[in-house]
Every structure is written in C-alpha cells, then in structure tokens.
C-alpha cells in the first residue's frame, strides 16, 4: 500500500483579488511539493522536486542548479495545436520569459550552500481567457502573482526561506489596479510584476511602462507590497510540512579559507586597485593567481581541485566587496556614481535604413534599423485560440555572439534564454517612444560586439540613436543604465550598510548583490528589471536610492547622446522605403491582380515592391526605395493601359461583336480598346435558353445591346439584348456601327424555334 500525502483544500479570499482556491497534494503526490491554484476557471498545477542524494565534493556544483519549466498547452483551452504535428513542440518565447521571471522570484530564497538539483514545473490545466495563465503560475492569489510556485515550495520539504507573493500592478488614468484583467491591461500605462518576501522586501521586479514618472513608479512599488503581504500570510497557513533535516549544505573549511586569503590578499588588492587594468588583463591576472595558489596547495595537501577553486572564488568575492566599502572608488578608478566613457556614432553604412554604434567603456553595441511592409509583422501564436493573433509592428532582437567575451561557441540557431530575456527588456524599453502611426514594420537588431557589463542597457541607447538616424519621429530619446548594489547584512538578513554603484562592470555584476536595470527618458521610466542574487530581498529605501541613481545616470547619458544626434532626421535617406496608396476601380481589379494575385507576385519578384489591399478599391504600395517604386508604377501602368475605354451612357444602345460563345452566354466586344463583356443567357432572349447555340449565334456575329451601368459589387458591365427585342430598337446606336450592318443583324423572326421531340421519338426512348 502506497501512502500518499493528505489533500489540503483551503479557499482564500483576499481584499485585492477574487476568490482563489488552493488544493495541496491533490495531484502529482510523489513530488516533493505540489499545489493547484484556481482563479475563476483558470487553473495551474505547480510541482517542485529536489534531489536528496548527498553530492561528493568533487562533483558538487558551486551554484544552485534550479530549473523552472512553464508550459501553456492547447488542451487547457480545449484546442489542438496548429503546427504540422498537432502537438506541443519546443518552448515559445513567452514560456521561456515567464519561466525566467519565476526563477528570479524563487532563487534568492534558497539556503546558501544548497546545491541540489531542483526543478519547478508549472503546467496550465485550464484557461478561461479572462486572465493570462502565466499570471496565475507566477502568482496564485491575484490574477498575476507568483504564489503558485511559492505555495508548492512552501508546502514541500525543500529548504526554502519563503513563501513569497507576487502581484501585477496596472495604471489606468493615474489609478493603480492590482491584478488587472487582460482587457484592462490593454488600457494600462504600466505593467509591473513584483515578488515580495515575508519581510516586505522586493525579491523580483519586472516592469514596462508608457513613460511613467519615477515618483509614480515608486508609488506603484509601495502599492504592490501592500497587496502581497496578505497573500504571504495565507500561504504560511498552508505550510505545515517539516523541512528536510540533516541535508548536506556546501560549506568551506575555515582553515583553508584563511590559508587562501593569506596567500592571495596582497595580490588581489593590487589587482582590484589598479585602474589601468581592463577586463581581459584583470581576468588574466586573477586566473594566474588562482593557478599559483592551486599549485602551491596541491603540493602540500590532499585537497580537491574543485574545492580550492570554489574557496578561491569565495575569497576573491569577499575581498572585492570589502574594498568597495574601504575605498571611495571602484576597481576601474571611477566614483560610485560615475559613468564610463561613452562614444556614439550614427549612419555607419549607407545601405542601412538606420544604424548606430554605442560604446560605453568596454561594452560595444551595434544597432541597425530595417523597415518592411506591415504585412511582414510578427504574428504571435501563443494561445491564439484564446486571444487571437497578436501583431507586433515593432521588434527588437538582441544578439550576443561568443566573440563578444573572447569565447568560442555557437553563432547560429535560436537565441538562448539569456538573449531572449535581454532582448525582451530592451524592446520594452524602446517601444513606448515609437509613434503608433509609423506605417512600416520596424525591426531593430542589436548586436553586442564587446561586453563588459550592462549590454542590454547599451542596446537601449544604441536603439534610440539608430531610430533617430533612420528618421523615425520618436517622442523623445531613451537611455538605459545598470545600477549595482554591494551590501553588508546582519545574521537575520537585515541590511546594515550598502553602496549603490552606477553603470556597473561585468565583475561588479558578478560580485555584487543586485543588477538593477532601469531604462527611460529624461523624466520617466519605460522599463525596469531587478535581479537579486546574494540577498533575500531589497528594502524599499534601497530601491528608492537606486531609482534616484538611475535617473541621474540616464540624464547624463542622454546629454552625451544628444551631442551626436538630438532629434530624428528630418530628410529621408536615399534608401528609405516609400509608401503610397493606389486606387483601382472594382471592374479593373481582375486585370490588376491577375489570377490568384499573380500580377502582384510578379511585381514583388521583379521589383521587391509589396502591394497590399486596404479596401475594395484602395491598395498600399510599399517599396524599398524610390527607384523600385517608379519601376513598379511602370508595370502597373502597363497592366492598366489597355483598359482605357470610353465612358458608356446609361441606357444607351451599342453594337458589339461576338468573340466567344460560352455555355452561360456570349462574350461581346463593344470597342477594340475594351475587354470583352459577358452577355449572359438570361439577357440574350425573352425566352429561357440553356445555350446560346439555340439562337443560331456564331463568333463574329454582331448584336445590339443596351447598357445599364456596372454591378456595384463585382464592377462588371450589365448589358441586355432581350430588352431591345420587340421594342423597335428605340434610340440611336451609340458606338456608331453602320446602319447597313445593323440591318443584316438577324431579328427575332429569324430565330429558329426550339426543337421538341415527336411522339414517336418519345415512345422509342
């Protein structure tokens, strides 16, 4: 008999949210922890599993191997995937970004030294379309909170300093809304997701805003903490499970730490206080020192190489952080609030629509702009059955090739999780300054050529410069800066002292506690992301100081950028795309489009010009340049030149020649410059006929017809012959066919009667 855990099913009602139900250990009961959170008809199952095997010192990692998997399955919405296999394939960008957000929320709260493989899996069970399903996975208490993973870990036996709660905050007309619905988010100027620990400290911040002021953004953070604390209290009531005991945490030998510190202190201080060293030379010096210490210790003691390497890294970090507090400057000689040297260049290559090179210290980013027709814009298939196609007329792609840090690696294929995360952050930062009325698809490609910290924020600066170089009339320039934090904490986790670092280096990011990326204009914030690494959460007062430092840094960066270009280019570049509209009468549409749009495809192949319908008579022409537009116009004029025709008078009588006989009528030509027009069987004679041949008509015969204008839907001419029969052909012939020819035209009396079968033939049949 297998003993399974008891099911706990509390229902929580929170002031800021709808009623949420938690069911603990109902499904996946073999896992270390499992929880189902349900809000309305959206349910999420989250499980947490961690290995219990004691790792040997030789194979023990120096970090927490945490994996967070988030999946949105079509079955949750009662649908079938639309790919060719009709099943879920690889992770989508949205799933990866959501998984990263959950990871950043829970990772800081694991115990120091806990290095066991741990996996958190979020599985969407059902969706109702009212809220985003990723929200409930990150969250469980308010339409967009990270409570579900929190509840799973809190009710498991995995050592974890949770629980946490997270909330999404929107802002409509200056009023903050906790966990807004999907419809409300479309009107919101703010999309803020915050995770909070039991102390009310911020564990994770991820935000995008439509140029929200720093003061309003800070108020939103205060509001989010107020929303999260009641949720944490409720999750604590669910956690009745004893945590694992006697687990082996990664601990270092104090004696060995002291030995390595003595051997390396003087050389490390010299390395970290020499401002002439750059990234490569500093890293090389540390690597040489590490190898020297390894060689010396391995000769005298039986110690694992991995152990010595991990302890050396611990000592390096400790000395680096202490020097931050002891000295009034950083390892490159800068003050705490000082930026690195910045250089900007634009219009690097003439064939490009826009380009910019942004250099900040040893971080170098090349950003290019490319325009295309709106029909080429990206269509997101994420949960298309629930929300429909999501079109993106603005795209920013971030690329981080291995040579940017002097390494060898893959330079092709899909972007990794880090590239996706950095690209999404930069895109959120730049998108608010791009006007909605831009008639093109805009793609920004940000390629990191050198990296020594804050490449994503450098991408924001380069993107702003490239857009202005391309002539996009942005609202105002945007810039980004990374703020670092080095702190001292008491045994209970309380911060006793800290230093705020502006524009951090790569080594400061690695050694520090926080990477606080802030992007925005001179007076507003457009995107923010905070990664907390070596502490359990950020107090609100430290966040406020970081926001002030970020605003000062942004203003200085924008001032430097304005020296290169301060406003968007007013004159078009020679290769700037052209966009025009073309009106085609309905009756000429067939000749213009061709069979199955063949003519438009030919124009695209020959000239690169894209033609898209706007309505029944209007088409937009997108050309990569003016020369291509002129070439396409010539082709279009040639298609339509044979269609020039005289205007026909409504009710006029015209004589035309039969050019083709069809089962449903005859094609007659009224003028040589006009295409043949179908005269249907219903308008050939007063009697009902099944084929024109019963009237004795042949190709080349001339018929008189009356003109009744064009069909308002199809645009085809409406002609009638039967209306003239027995009316004496009242009125002159409008197309000047000679009267003698008209007399030769057979009249109604010349029509051969329809043959009817005799009685004998009927009997024989």
Q: Measure the CA–CA gap between 510 and 533, rounded to whole angstroms.
A: 9
SS3 labels along 611-645: EEECCCCEEEEEECCHHHHHHHHHHHHHHHHCCCC
In Å, how far from its chain's centre is CA 163? 30
Which phi and psi angles does 267 have, rounded to 5°? -70, -35
Angle, CA 196 vertex, CA 190 and CA 199 arms, to 5°: 140
Residue whose C-alpha is closest to residue 484's, from 462, 453, 463, 460: 453
Q: Measure the CA–CA gap between 242 and 354, rounded to whole angstroms.
A: 60
Residue 538, helix vs strand vs coil: strand
Partner residues linked to 397 by β-bridges: 445
Write down the CATH superfamily of domain 578-641. Answer: K Homology domain, type 1 (3.30.1370.10)
pLDDT value at residue 164: 81
Give CA separation, 762 vs 294, 438, 753, 756, in Å: 113, 75, 19, 10
Residue whose C-alpha is closest to residue 395's, from 421, 437, 427: 427
Residue 139 is classified by DSSP as B
Contact 466, 368 (CB under 8 A): yes
pLDDT value at residue 642: 59
Asked, colleague to colleague, whether 255-326 and 342-564 share their fold, the answer is: no
Neighbours of 674 (CB within 10 A): 16
Instruction: Return the H-helix or E-strand segment holding 385.
Output: helix 384-387
Residue whose C-alpha is closest to residue 132's, from 179, 169, 173, 96: 179
Angle, CA 376 vertex, CA 612 and CA 528 arms, to 5°: 135
CA atoms within 13 A on the CB side of 644: 4
Residues 264-295 have pLDDT tens digits of 999 999 999 999 999 999 999 999 999 999 88
The CATH architecture assigned to 11-238 reads 2-Layer Sandwich (3.30)
Domain topology for 653-750: OB fold (Dihydrolipoamide Acetyltransferase, E2P) (2.40.50)
Residues 6+ apart with CB under 8 A from 656: 668, 669, 670, 677, 702, 703, 705, 735
pTM for the predicted model, two decimal places: 0.81
Class of the CATH-defined domain 255-326? mainly alpha
Instruction: Provide Rg for the chain, Cα atoms.
Output: 37
Class of the CATH-defined domain 342-564? alpha beta
pLDDT value at residue 384: 44
Residue 690 is classified by DSSP as S
Per-domain boundaries in the chain: 11-238, 255-326, 342-564, 578-641, 653-750
Neighbours of 396 (CB within 10 A): 24
Residue 684 is classified by DSSP as T
Residue 726, helix vs strand vs coil: coil
Please state whether 599 falls in left (phi above 0), alpha (psi between -120 and 50) or beta: alpha
Pairing of strands 618-623, 610-613: antiparallel
Pairing of strands 190-196, 618-623: unpaired
Q: Which tokens is 338 given?
A: 């000082």
Contact 477, 555 (CB under 8 A): no
Number of H helices, E strands in the chain: 18, 29
Residue 340 is classified by DSSP as P
Contact 158, 175 (CB under 8 A): no
Which phi and psi angles does 324 have, rounded to 5°? -60, -40
- Collect the ranges in the chain with pLDDT lower than 70: 1-20, 53-62, 135, 138-160, 162, 238-247, 300-304, 306, 378-391, 642-645, 726-765
Contact 423, 398 (CB under 8 A): yes
């Amino acid at each position: 008999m297998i003993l399974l855990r008891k099911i706990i099913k509390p229902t929580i009602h929170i002031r800021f949210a709808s009623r949420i139900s938690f069911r603990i250990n109902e499904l996946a009961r073999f896992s270390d922890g499992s929880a189902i959170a349900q809000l309305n008809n959206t349910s999420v199952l989250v499980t947490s599993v961690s290995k219990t095997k004691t790792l040997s010192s030789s194979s023990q990692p120096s970090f927490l191997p945490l994996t967070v998997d988030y999946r949105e399955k079509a079955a949750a919405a009662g649908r079938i995937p639309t790919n060719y296999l009709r099943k879920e394939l690889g992770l989508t960008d949205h799933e990866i970004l959501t998984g990263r957000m959950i990871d950043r929320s829970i990772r800081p709260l694991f115990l120091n030294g806990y290095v066991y493989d741990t996996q958190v899996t979020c599985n969407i069970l059902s969706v109702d379309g009212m809220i985003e399903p990723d929200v409930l996975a990150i969250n469980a208490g308010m339409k967009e909170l990270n409570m579900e993973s929190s509840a799973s870990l809190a009710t498991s036996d995995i050592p974890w300093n949770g629980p946490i709660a997270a909330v999404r905050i929107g802002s409509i007309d200056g009023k903050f809304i906790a966990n807004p619905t999907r419809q409300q988010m479309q009107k919101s100027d703010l999309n803020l997701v915050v995770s909070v620990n039991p102390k009310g400290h911020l564990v994770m911040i991820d935000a995008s805003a439509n140029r929200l002021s720093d003061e309003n953004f800070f108020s939103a953070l205060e509001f989010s903490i107020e929303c999260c604390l009641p949720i944490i209290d409720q999750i604590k009531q669910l956690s009745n499970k004893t945590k694992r005991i006697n687990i082996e945490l990664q601990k270092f030998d104090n004696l060995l730490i002291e030995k390595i510190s003595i051997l390396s202190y003087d050389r490390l201080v010299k390395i970290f206080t020499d401002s002439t060293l750059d990234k490569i030379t500093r890293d090389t010096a540390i690597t040489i020192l590490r190898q020297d210490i390894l060689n010396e210790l391995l000769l005298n003691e039986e110690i694992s190489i991995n152990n010595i390497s991990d302890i050396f890294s611990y000592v390096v970090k400790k000395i680096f952080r202490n020097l931050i507090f002891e000295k009034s400057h950083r390892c490159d000689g800068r003050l705490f609030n000082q930026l690195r040297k910045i250089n900007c260049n634009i219009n690097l290559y003439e064939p490009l629509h826009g380009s910019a090179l942004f250099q900040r210290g040893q971080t170098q980013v090349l950003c290019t702009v490319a325009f295309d027709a709106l029909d080429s814009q990206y269509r997101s298939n994420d949960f298309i059955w629930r929300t429909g196609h999501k079109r993106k007329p603005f795209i920013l792609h971030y690329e981080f090739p291995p040579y940017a840090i002097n390494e060898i690696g893959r330079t092709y294929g899909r972007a990794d999780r880090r590239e996706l995360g950095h690209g999404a952050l930069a895109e959120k930062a730049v998108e608010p300054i791009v006007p909605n009325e831009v008639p093109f698809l805009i793609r920004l490609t940000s390629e990191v050529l050198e990296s020594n910290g804050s490449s994503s924020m450098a991408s924001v600066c380069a993107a702003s410069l490239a857009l202005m170089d391309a002539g996009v009339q942005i609202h105002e320039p945007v810039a980004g800066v990374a703020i670092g934090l080095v702190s001292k904490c008491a045994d209970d986790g309380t911060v006793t002292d800290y230093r705020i670092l502006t524009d951090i280096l790569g080594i400061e990011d690695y050694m520090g506690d926080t990477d606080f990326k802030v992007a925005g204009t001179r007076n507003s914030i457009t995107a923010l992301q905070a990664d907390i690494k070596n502490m359990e959460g950020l107090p609100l007062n430290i966040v406020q100081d970081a926001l002030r430092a970020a605003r000062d840094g942004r203003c200085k960066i924008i001032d430097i950028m304005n020296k290169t270009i301060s406003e968007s280019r007013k004159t078009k570049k020679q290769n700037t795309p052209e966009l025009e509209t073309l009106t085609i009468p309905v009756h000429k549409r067939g000749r213009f489009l061709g069979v199955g749009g063949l003519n438009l495809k030919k124009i695209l192949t020959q000239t690169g010009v894209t033609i898209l319908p706007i309505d029944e008579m209007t088409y937009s022409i997108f050309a990569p340049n003016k020369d291509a537009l002129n070439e396409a116009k010539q082709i279009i004029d040639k298609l339509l030149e044979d269609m020039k025709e005289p205007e026909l008078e409504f009710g006029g009588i015209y004589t035309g020649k039969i050019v083709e006989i069809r089962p449903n009528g005859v094609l007659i030509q009224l003028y040589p410059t006009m295409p043949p027009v179908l005269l249907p069987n219903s308008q050939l004679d007063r009697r009902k006929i099944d084929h024109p041949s019963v009237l004795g008509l042949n190709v080349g015969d001339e018929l008189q017809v009356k003109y009744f204008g064009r069909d308002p839907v199809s645009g085809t001419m409406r002609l009638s012959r039967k209306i003239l029969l027995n009316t004496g052909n009242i009125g002159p012939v409008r197309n000047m066919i000679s009267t003698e020819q008209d007399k030769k035209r057979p009249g109604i009396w010349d029509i051969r009667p329809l043959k009817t079968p005799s009685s004998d033939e009927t009997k024989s049949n």
